[in-house]
Amino acid sequence: MAKSKINEAQTSPASVPVFETSVAEAFRCGTIAIVGRPNVGKSTLLNHLIGQKVSITSKKAQTTRHRITGIFTDVRSQFLFLDTPGFQKTHENALNKILNRTVSQAAADADVLLFVTEALKFSELDEVVLKAIDKTTPTILVVNKIDRIEDKTRLMTFLQEMQARFTFAAIVPTSVKSAQTIIALKDAIRPLLPLAPAVYSGDEITDKSERFMASEFIREKVFRQLGDELPYSVSVVIEKYEQEGDLRRIFANIVVDKNSQKAILIGTKGERMKRIGTDARKDMETTFGGKVYLELFVKVKKGWADDQALLRQYGYE
C-alpha cells in the first residue's frame, strides 16, 4: 500500500531503487538525525515530515526510546530521518544512559542534524545538547511551535540570538500546523544530503517492523491515558504476533515496576486496559492496513529499568 508500508525486516534496503536515478542525475539520499531536549516536538515533527505516523507522541518526557528511521521519498531525494530520544540528565538509571547513548550514536551517524528547540524557550538542557553537536556535521536549527507565538518581533529576536550561538547551515521556523513550514524544512535539508541513490523502495515509511510498531502504539496509549499516574518505567513486550491474510493477532505484555502500578493500569473493572487496547488497535489497523485482534496483559518486573539483562530482553541495547 503506497505510503503505508512497514518494513517487516528490521532493515530491508531495496534491491532496486524505486527511481532509476543515478548519482550523476543529482538524486540525493542521506540520514538526518533529529536531536533536542525532551518535549520539543521531535516525534510529532518527524510524523509530519513523513506524512504518516511512525513515531509515538505524548506529553511525557522521553516517550521515544529507540532510534526510529522515518523514510520520505520524492522524485529528487530520499530522506532518512532518525527520531531520537530526548537527551536528558534528570534520571541516571541504566535505561536513560542507554537512551542518551542512542542520541549520541544517531548524531554521529547522520549526514545532517536537525537541532530542534521550542520558540522562545531555550533552556540549559538545550545548551547541553547544542554543545555536544559535532560542528563538522551540517546542522539546521528548527525553531518549533512558532504557531504559539503571537508577537513575531519576539520570535525574530530569538532567531537572532540563536544565530549568534552556533554556525547553523540554516534556520527554519516551523509549526506542524503549517504545511508550508514543513516543505521549507525539507527544502533546506535537501542540498545538504549526499549525492546517492535511494536505499529503500518508495513506498516504505520506516525501517521498523510491524511487531515493533505495535509495541510502540500500545506504549503511547499507556502514557497518553495515564499521564503522571504511572512513572516513566513502563515497557511493552510483544509475546506473540501472528498474521493470516489481513488479520493480525497480537498478544502483548505491559511491564511495570510495582504491583500498585498494575492496579492503576488495569483500572476499575479493567476499563483503562480496555481503552488502551481499543485505541492502540485503531492505530495499528490504520497503519498496517488490516484488522487486528489485540490482547493485553500486565506483568510486574521490579527494577527492570536498571536491570541490564531485562533491558536487552526488552530491546534496549
Give the whole-angstrom CA distance, residue 183 versus residue 178.
9
Query: pLDDT category, 22, cuts 50, 70, 90?
Result: very low
Domain ranges of the chain: 19-204, 209-313
User: What's the CATH number for 19-204?
Assistant: 3.40.50.300
pTM comes to: 0.72
Task: Find where cell 509475546 sits.
Answer: 239
Give 115's strand partners: 35, 141
Domain 209-313: CATH superfamily, name plus number: K homology (KH) domain (3.30.300.20)
Whether the per-residue pLDDT at 83 is higher than 70: the answer is yes
In 138-282 the beta strands, taken as DSSP E runs, fall at: 139-144, 170-173, 204-206, 235-244, 247-256
pLDDT of residue 313: 57
Average pLDDT, the chain: 80
Share of the chain above pLDDT 70, in %: 74
Does 20 have pLDDT greater than 80? no
Give the confidence band of 309 by pLDDT, cuts at 50, 70, 90. Answer: low
Give CA separation, 99 vs 84, 94, 109, 121, 312, in Å: 8, 9, 15, 23, 13
pLDDT bucket at 103, cuts 50 / 70 / 90: low
Per-residue confidence band for 229, with pLDDT thresholds at 50, 70 and 90: low
Residue 87 has pLDDT above 60, yes or no: no
Predicted confidence (pLDDT) at residue 260 exceeds the cutoff of 50 = yes
Predicted local confidence at residue 167, as pLDDT:
93
Asked if residue 265 has pLDDT above 70, the reply is yes
Around Cβ 288, how many Cβ atoms within 10 Å? 21
317 alpha-carbon distance from chain centroid? 17
CA separation for the pair 91, 16 (Å, rounded): 44
> Residues 149-195: pLDDT tens digits?
988 899 999 999 999 999 999 999 999 999 999 999 999 999 999 99
Q: What is the pLDDT of residue 236?
A: 87
Give the least confident one: 32-36, 52-56, 196-200, 217-221.
52-56
Asked if residues 17 and 71 have their Cβ atoms less than 8 Å apart, the reply is: no
**How confident is the model over 111-127, as pLDDT tens digits?**
999 999 999 999 988 88
On the question of pLDDT at 238 being above 50, the answer is yes
The C-alpha atoms of residue 143 and residue 116 are separated, in whole angstroms, by: 6
Q: What is the pLDDT of residue 84?
A: 74
Per-residue pLDDT, 197:
93
DSSP line for 77-95: EEEEEEE-PPP-SS--SHH
**What local confidence, expressed as pLDDT, does residue 250 receive?**
96
**Pick from 5-9, 260-264, 292-296: least confident:** 5-9
Look-up of cell digits 544517531? 106
Task: Please provide residue 177's backbone torsions phi and psi, each rounded to the nearest 5 degrees.
Answer: -85, -5
Share of the chain above pLDDT 90, in %: 40
The reported pLDDT for the residue numbered 65 is: 46
Examine the pLDDT at 23 and tell me if it is beyond 50.
no
Q: Nearest-CA neighbor of 54 among 205, 273, 260, 232?
A: 205
Task: Express each pLDDT in 195-225 by its tens digit.
Answer: 999 998 888 888 888 888 898 889 888 888 7
